[in-house]
Amino acid sequence: MYLVSPVILCGGSGTRLWPLSRQSYPKQFVPLVGNNTLFQDSVIRLSEGFDGIDFLAPTIVTASDFRFIVAEQLAQIGIDPGTILIEPQSRNTAPAILAAAHYLAETDPETILLVAPSDHVLQDPVAFHAAVKKGLAAVEAGKLVTFGVKPTRPETAYGYLELATLPNRLDAAVDLEKFVEKPNMARAIEMLETGTYLWNSGIFLFKAKDILAAFDLYAPDLMPPVTNAVSTAKSDLGFLCLDPAAWADVEDMSIDSGIMEKADNLAVVPFEGGWTDLGAWDAVWRETDPDADGVVTAGGATVIDCENSLIRAESENLEMVGIGLRNVMAIAMNDAVLVADMARAQDVKTAVAALRQKGLAQATDFPKDHRPWGWFERLVIGGRFQVKRIYVHPGAALSLQSHFHRSEHWIVVEGTARVTVDGEEKLVTENQSVYVPLGAMHRLENPGKVPMVLIEVQTGTYVGEDDIIRYGDIYARGSCDEA
């Protein structure tokens, strides 16, 4: 019986899936295909053991901004992680993998790591598990194993793996000739016809000691700062926060360019498992079962005489109507709408960059802002006021705080709130309200067994999130601090 330690990477931003995926709430945490999020499906896939393999509790590598989202989504599917490693800043896949390998090697250098992104779709987990099992013999021989997907079409959005020879059996480990960057369409068609190219899945299998040896050989400058960041990491609310001072010296590097394109002990396991990197809206369209006319809808969407189109309404009380559309993707949220030719799906990233240049919050900020106690959603923002919907988990509480520039009026619409204003505590039930004057020290709690929802109306000269003095916080946010 093999024990395999999954390492799940979930720190990316996924800008080509804007406006649903944004820097503050990227695609891996969104239910793009099915009811679960991509992150949740990835964890489930690497939690259920099978013949000959048991999965240990997963190690998650993510950013501080996402740590409470990760914890909440794991709780929703009933899975306890082994460790959630927090990167102070994103430095690409190589440092993230190195940090996880170093951390796990401290317990056992022989630990077998299965490293996977959190934003991919695998329709056939049984086939994937079989491929993992095929790779274990190569791992025992000291190989670094990657997984290549048999192409089903010429694809310009993926990197490729060139095999040394045409494999006799699709699920057998074979030698790798080289990694190939994303091709143009003509080259992609040519590569598909040869039969010796596979899509690069970005999934890896190796022993901790072997990947550490590869880093020591091919990326030695990365070893000291990452090692220091792990060895001086601090625990914070069950998260392991990598040391920010050490991490500041870490170079941005992908695992492909830093290690895999240089290593001479690679093996590739080809597999057919319905794999898709949901990197753009055209991939989402393909994976969500278009109807007979090639149309996919989600949320409140009505289509008339449309073909080969994706129409998604991603906000409550929003109805999208498409008439006579051909090869169009239209995604609407309450603060932004994307309408584009399906063939231009890869260009959404360029549009997000243009929004950033204009200084627009929609480029990066998701309408819902997640916190350890729940979330809030901005409903209306004016020159001297803001209206929010605030959701507080049962038993959770916001920090004891005050504001310099705004007062607040809270109206409870679901559940019961315990409110403290300048030392005076009272219960506020549905349809009741409370006023928090400018400068008052206040706290909001949910003492009940059900979620509490309220509408907050802020008024004042400044209603930014940084107008806050925090006096007490039950979450003791420290080394992984967030606003």
CA end-to-end span of the chain: 45
Distance CA(337)–CA(347), nearest Å, equals 15
pLDDT at residue 358, rounded to an integer: 95
* Interval 40-47 mean pLDDT: 92
pLDDT at residue 482, rounded to an integer: 44
The model's pLDDT over 174-211, given as tens digits with 9 standing for 90+, comes to 888 888 888 999 999 999 998 889 999 999 999 999 99
Q: What percent of the chain has pLDDT over 70?
A: 96
pLDDT at residue 476, rounded to an integer: 56
pLDDT mean across residues, the chain: 91
**Looking at this protein, which amino acid is placed at residue 72?**
E
SS3 of the chain: helix, strand, coil, percent, to 5: 25, 35, 40
pLDDT at residue 21, rounded to an integer: 93
Top-confidence residue, 230 or 52: 230
Residue 479 has pLDDT above 60, yes or no: no
Name the least confident of 191-200, 268-277, 473-482. Answer: 473-482
pLDDT at residue 425, rounded to an integer: 95
Give this prediction's pTM.
0.87
Residue 477 has pLDDT above 70, yes or no: no
Answer for the pair 258, 274: CB distance below 8 angstroms, yes or no.
no
Domains of the chain: 2-276 (3.90.550.10), 281-358 (no CATH), 368-472 (2.60.120.10)
Distance CA(167)–CA(196), nearest Å, equals 8
> Phi/psi of residue 207, each to 5°?
-85, 150
3-class DSSP state of 309: strand
Reported as a pLDDT band with limits 50, 70 and 90, residue 237 is confident
Reported as a pLDDT band with limits 50, 70 and 90, residue 324 is very high
Structure tokens at 371: 């916190």
Residue 270 has pLDDT above 70, yes or no: yes
Reported as a pLDDT band with limits 50, 70 and 90, residue 483 is very low
- Write the CB contacts of 382 (distance below 8 Å, at least 6 apart in sequence): none
Distance CA(175)–CA(403), nearest Å, equals 62
The model's pLDDT over 92-105, given as tens digits with 9 standing for 90+, comes to 999 999 999 999 99
The model's pLDDT over 62-98, given as tens digits with 9 standing for 90+, comes to 998 898 899 889 999 999 888 999 999 999 999 999 9
Which among 158-172, 266-280, 288-302 has the top mean pLDDT? 288-302
